Amino acid sequence: MKKTYYLFNPGRLSRKDNTLKFTPVDEEGNELKPRYLPVEHVDQLYVLGSLDANSALYNFLGKNDIAVHFYDYYENYTGSFAPKCKLLSGKMLIAQTQSYLKKSKRLEIAQSFIEGASFNMLKNLKYYDNRGKDLMPVIDSIELLRKKLHSTMDVNELMGIEGNIRKNYYDAFNLIINDHEMGIRTKQPPLNIVNSLLSFGNMMCYSECLRAIQKTQLEPTISFLHEPGERRFSLALDLAEVFKPFLVDRVIFKVLNKKEIQVHDFEEKLNRIVLKEKGKKKFIQAFEKRLEETIKHRSLKRNVSYKHLIKLECYKLQKHLLGMDLYKPFKIYW
């Protein structure tokens, strides 16, 4: 099974026969012991340090269907290298574009994304409420807001309700997380430990959703909840809404409450709180472990990983756009 690899150190990536050779360098530019990655085992690379590579290397990556995601020093997602799409479909592109252009169809899909996302948020809250966190006032507020989702008349109105749901949800983080206050949601830049983990985790989830979309016939720049724009794969943002509550938020609750990540794993740079390299490794390890967990799928009647659930969600959306089935967002059922 192909895996995801993370490159934390600055270095040089090159081809060595049918393997990838990564040669890290230290702060003074001295080469360290190289690491070899068999190309048949690599699905995607996350680059969290500076990388030196040439066009021949990217040709090699493209031919072997290996994606590369880039992050800057401050944990911001800056872009991706995507292999040539092998599943091009004019029929799918037309159907996706028509659903975006028709207001009622776009709204229906956008409402489904928020329905699934808010349901999964509630599942998190109810899980911790059952463990003595007294979250019923927040749960009640979100349930009242959810009743308004399908009566919205346009995406802007829907986004307003989604914003209120998320505000209530984030307010509950102060009760769920021990020893750390979230305060208000701050993104650019994140101003405390919880916000820093949220920003980093959400970008990880966004990249996973983008990779899943790229393995289907969907066009990642045509979205329904988030407005399509320049230089971003907005459909990945749509899809990530459904998965962030149990792929990102639950990991954050775990690593903080079990003290797997602590204050010394962060540093303050240019008025923002960012993870140190050791902290990034700890979070990524927990995130990858979460992606590899499996559940018994109700329809398929077999175990599937959380990572594979994202791809299955893409297939469900494809069927909806082609008029084959109604899209129903994934909802936690355990």
* Whether the Cβ atoms of residue 13 and residue 54 lie closer than 8 Å to each other: no
Summarised one tens digit per residue, pLDDT across range 230-287 is: 768 999 999 999 999 999 999 999 999 999 999 999 998 878 899 999 999 999 999 9
Query: pTM score > 0.85 for this model?
Result: yes
230 is in an annotated binding site: no
Q: Classify the C-alpha dihedral 75-78-84-86 as positive or negative.
A: positive
Model pLDDT, residue 238: 97
Model pLDDT, residue 144: 98
Summarised one tens digit per residue, pLDDT across range 8-18 is: 999 999 998 88
* Whether the Cβ atoms of residue 255 and residue 272 lie closer than 8 Å to each other: no
Is pLDDT of 26 > 80? Answer: yes
Segments of the chain assigned to CATH 3.100.10.20: 3-81
Q: Which helix (H) or strand (E) holds 67?
A: strand 67-71
Report the percent of the chain where pLDDT is more than 90: 81
Indicate the angle between helix axes 90-101 and 103-128, nearest 10 degrees: 90
The CATH topology of domain 3-81 is Ribosomal Protein L15; Chain: K; domain 2 (3.100.10)
Q: Find all residues with CB under 8 Å of 135, minimum gap 6, and list them.
A: 125, 126, 128, 129, 172, 175, 176
Determine the average pLDDT of the residues in 144-155.
97
Based on DSSP, count helices (H) and strands (E) in the chain, helices before strands. 11, 12
Q: Which residues pair with 271 in a beta bridge?
A: none
Helix (H, G, I), strand (E, B) or coil at 175: helix
267 is in an annotated binding site: no
* Whether the Cβ atoms of residue 140 and residue 149 lie closer than 8 Å to each other: no
Query: How high is the mean pLDDT of the chain?
Result: 93
At 88, the amino acid letter reads L
Alpha carbon 231 to its chain's center? 17
Segments of the chain assigned to CATH 1.20.120.920: 90-322
Summarised one tens digit per residue, pLDDT across range 65-93 is: 999 999 987 778 888 898 887 778 899 99
Rounded-to-integer distance, Cα 239 and Cα 227, Å: 13
| Superfamily in which the 90-322 domain is placed by CATH | CRISPR-associated endonuclease Cas1, C-terminal domain (1.20.120.920)
Backbone angles phi, psi at 262, to 5 degrees: -130, 180
Residue 238's nearest CA partner among 217, 252, 221 is 221
